[in-house]
Amino acid sequence: MSTYTVVNPATAQPVAEVHLASVAETDAAIERAHEAFGTWRDVAPGERAALLRRYAAVVDAHVEELAELEVRNAGHTWGNARWEAGNVRDCLNYYSAAPERMFGRQIPVAGGTDVTFHEPLGVVGIIVPWTFPMPIAAWGLAPALAAGNTVVLKPAELTPLTAVRLGELALEAGIPEGVLTVLPGAGHVVGERFVTHPLVRKVCFTGSTAVGKKVMAGCAEQVKRVTLELGGKSSNIVFADADLDLAAASAPYAVFDNAGQDCCARSRILVERSAYDEFLAKLEPAVRAMRVLDPTDESSEMGPLISRKQQGVVQGYLDEVDVAFAGTTPGGDGFWVPPSVVTVDDPAARIWREEVFGPVVAVMPFDSEAEAVERANDTDYGLSGSIFTRDLGRGLRVARGVQSGNLSVNSHSAVRYWTPFGGYKQSGLGRELGPDAPMAFTEEKNVFISH
């Protein structure tokens, strides 16, 4: 029997042993999900909606429990963990409205009537990363279940505890056996089987771009649907006319949230040269003031990195450069790296181009609006970004010019469950969330009826 020791990243101490599914166990779970699909897709829309609302209510009753698990398992702050558990509830409530609104169309044709239907795909495999284990699970499972599919879900090996609990809570809420199955396991075992098993008709993958390319290639073998949410190297563009106090005070939270382990992190700051020195002078106290504490302290604003390996990767980037200024950490045995700021002149620098995935931000000056857009677009990624300016015409113009799926003007907001989320270029394929998400888990059928 294969197991994995879950470790608290703030203390490096073990917290649980989790069974890892084998290929045979994965196949059996997929087959059970396929059997359950035949019944779940035929559940009346109103009844399916009521079950999802009941699931949301059960999750709501367990928000504190789920948050505590994430604080221990992923090193998330209490504030983040409560929001994440609440986001699961909110996604379930939002998509509970979908079953009764899966509208087709009547299209005018000669000689009869033409109508369309949205029909569920079957078994959906969802592969969740360790970055935000609860919300990303919900972004896939809620619309997939609402559309009438069954779900097999693989949490990351490092962070399986909340996913396992969400699977248990689904059963408590009355979701039938086999409709949602959580399968902790290795990526090359469970995740790969989602890709290769013919009964899995769609794979949703969130993770690195390198692995995402392999998932996409594997799905191509069976012409299998795939949604990919991958990496990012997003820019925070600050113009000289911006509210520099707001821009500097908010910038740390746009990149150091979740210790920088966020594909939406604004890990590059582009500052108009005439405001560059003033912005850095205001940014430094904001960075130093960040409360980097053990996540069990409710006042903590940033926790540790997820693993010793990730800590080493991030430190490797910092060892190559001079750090302009940094915050502090509580030290100890946890996987800590302080929030760090580096200044960059060379757009070819590794720390400017590559996704560090840690609490590190690089700052570079620019001289014109056109140069800012060019620098922001000079990346293989295109997931998120921010623009700070008092000129809202410029804000909209730059937002249209930056090749990115999610942009904010005078804000760092990137994700709302009722608006679409996804990336350009190598940041991904397809969109999650928003009102149209359930349609991505359906086939559109066209029926012509001769008069």
Catalytic residue annotation: 229, 263
* Cα Dmax for the chain: 77
Tokens of 97: 């409205």
- Decide: helix, strand or coil at residue 243: coil
In total, the chain counts a number of residues equal to 451
Give dist(CA 132, CA 306) in Å, integer. 11
Helix intervals (H) in 147-272: 161-172, 192-196, 209-220, 244-256
Give dist(CA 189, CA 32) in Å, integer. 18
Tokens of 220: 């191509």
Cβ neighbours around 429 below 10 Å, total: 16
250 Cβ contact list (under 8 Å, min separation 6):
412
Tokens of 24: 């045979």
Tokens of 286: 């904001």
Q: Are 227 and 432 in contact (CB under 8 A)?
A: yes
